[in-house]
Amino acid sequence: MDLNPSYKNGLRMSAPILALMTLGVLGLSTASASEYANPNDYEGMALLTFFLFFVGYISMGAAFIFFVMERNSVAEEYRTTMTISALIVGIAAFHYYYMRGAYVEDGIVSVHYRYMDWLITVPLMALKFPSLVGKGAITDAKIPVIGGFANVCFFGAVWMIGWGFAGETGLMDGTFGDSAGLICLILSGVGWAMIIVAVGDPFGVMEPKGIDNSKVKAELEWSLNALRMFIVVGWVIYPIGYLYSPEANLLDGNQELMGVLYNIADMINKIGFGVVAWMGAKKATAAMA
């Protein structure tokens, strides 16, 4: 059954309102919790960590509202990528709320909440590529056992996050001994490499296995390469943060420095990922007019 224009307009108006209400509920909770969070109780790296947890939470929430409100400003074929962008930062905002609480109340830079977030949002980030370039630009190349482009991205993301979590929580200490943190970091990097091989690099060093560049619309080329830049260069911040994880036993453990690096990386990559995809979708939409 076709929706009449007024009903469609109603849906378009209600989506941003629902988004604002959702963030508003969390905002009230944050305001209540912040009564017990005195910035004067922190100094140095601890103060920066405290600050970035709040900035991360608010910036992710603001980006969520922006992507929801902008969803209907692009052509219908690009609305899925806007939805994925909103999901990524919206899910991150919820987790940052809890990570902020763990740090304020218990002084802990939570690894568990962090990896809960990454387990959901990292596969979504990898799957933004087909939603932006379209199915026509996705190749039929497959990896034995794993499968095609979407499966490779999903498996690579889960592999990467799984080994990272094992290294940062000491799960493999009994198996790999004192080298567990380093071995888990290397194994995690294999998943990262799988995603890069599938989506390609921004420098044109190698041809992507999962995307046919010749079938990508000219209006999307810049955004596609920008997304690749985030994955190849922007994601480098994460293993640097991992080096300072107390449980990884690689450098001198410093949970605040680890948290600062992770928070900066999340804000750059999650929000930036959505912004460049939105820019490409807007440009492609304008070209269709």
Q: Using one digit for the tens of pLDDT, what is the confidence trace for 149-180?
A: 888 999 999 999 999 999 999 999 999 999 99
Higher-pLDDT residue of 43 and 239 is 239
Give pLDDT, residue 10: 45
Mean pLDDT of 119-142: 90
Q: Is pLDDT at 219 greater than 90 in this prediction?
A: yes
Q: What percent of the chain has pLDDT over 70?
A: 87
Under the banding of pLDDT at 50, 70 and 90, the label for residue 135 is confident
CATH number of 15-288: 1.20.1070.10
Give pLDDT, residue 41: 81
Amino acid at residue number 159: W
Under the banding of pLDDT at 50, 70 and 90, the label for residue 12 is low
pLDDT digits (tens, 9 = 90+) for 58-77: 999 999 999 999 999 999 99
Map out the domains of the chain as residue ranges.
15-288
* Lowest-confidence segment of 5-19, 115-129, 232-246 by average pLDDT: 5-19
Give pLDDT, residue 31: 47
What is this structure's pTM? 0.88
pLDDT digits (tens, 9 = 90+) for 63-121: 999 999 999 999 999 999 999 999 999 999 999 999 998 999 899 999 999 999 999 99
Residue with tokens 């962090």: 114
pLDDT digits (tens, 9 = 90+) for 47-57: 999 999 999 99
Q: Is pLDDT at 145 greater than 80 in this prediction?
A: no
Higher-pLDDT residue of 277 and 142 is 277
* Lowest-confidence segment of 127-136, 240-249, 258-267, 276-285 by average pLDDT: 127-136
Residue with tokens 């996705």: 138
